[in-house]
Amino acid sequence: MAKSKIVPLEKAMEKIIDGLTIMIPGFVNSGVPEALIKGMVDKDVKDIRIISNNTSIKGRGIGLLVHDRRIRHITCSHIGSNTETVEQVVAGELDVTFVPQGTLCERVRAGGAGIGGILTPTGLGTPIAEGKDIITVDGRQYLLEKPLRGDVALIHAWKADKMGNVVYHRTARNFNQIWATAADWVIVEAEEIVEVGELDPDLIMTPGALVDQIVDLGGVE
C-alpha cells in the first residue's frame, strides 16, 4: 500500500520559503486554497512571485498576501476587484504582468505539458505584444506566448484520497486542475479525505501522481 501523503499544515509550509514562484488558482474566492494562503501569512513568507487569475478581494485569499505586501510580482489577468492591489500597483509598490485570461490558462497548460509555448492572435496590436515574437502561419499572425511554471502550486480540492487523487466541486475546479500540472511541488488542501479506492476513477480530475502533499481542512483551525 502506498504511503499516505497527508501532512499537517505546518509540515506543508516547510516547502514554502521566501522568493519562490507560487501558483495559486481560484476565481475571486471560488476554489481558492485559503488555508494554505493563511499558512503562508502565519509563516511570514515574503518576496514571492504569484501566478494567479486575480488577487481576490481585500482581506480574503491572495488579498491577505497583498495587504501584508508579501508579493514582489504577480502574473494575472485581473486585479480590479481588490482595491489594495490597485493602490500598490499605482504606487509602484507591486509589479504586475497582465495576461489575457485565456492566454494565461494556455501558458500554464503549456508549462504543465512541457511544450515550448502557444500561438495566439490575442494581444496583437496592443501593449501585450511588446517584445514578443510574432509568427505567421498560413498568412495569419500570432503571438508566441511562452509557458508558465511555478516552484509550488497550492490547490483546493473538494475530496482527495490518501494518495492524492483529487475531485473538485463544480465551478471551484476553475484553474485548479491546470495549475496542478505546472509546478515542481503540489500541495492540496482538501475539504474531505477518503480512503484509496473510494473515489470513482472516472471522476478523478487530478491524479495522485501530480500531488506531493495533502492538508486535511478538517484538521485546520
Give CA–CA dist 147/129, Å, rounded.
15
pTM for the whole structure: 0.96
Contact between 136 and 169 (Cβ < 8 Å): no
Going from the N-terminus, what domains does the chain have, and what CATH number goes with each?
A: 9-115+148-219 (3.40.1080.10)
pLDDT in tens, 61-88: 999 999 999 999 999 999 989 999 999 9
pLDDT in tens, 10-62: 999 999 999 999 999 999 899 999 999 999 999 999 999 999 999 999 999 99
Which of 62-99 are b and which e, b meaning 16 or more Cβ less than 10 Å from the residue's Cβ?
A: bbbbbbeebbbebbbebbeebebbbebbeeeebebebb
pLDDT in tens, 115-170: 999 999 999 999 999 999 999 999 999 999 999 999 999 999 999 999 999 999 99
Nearest to 161 by CA among 117, 197, 122: 197
Return all residues near 114 (Cβ < 8 A) that are at least 6 apart: none
Confidence (pLDDT) at 221: 60
Sort 54 into a burial class: Cβ within 10 Å, 0-12 / 13-18 / 19+: buried
Q: Sorting pLDDT into bands at 50, 70 and 90, what band is 2?
A: low
Beta-carbon count within 10 A of 19 CB: 11
* Residue 110 scores a pLDDT above 80: yes
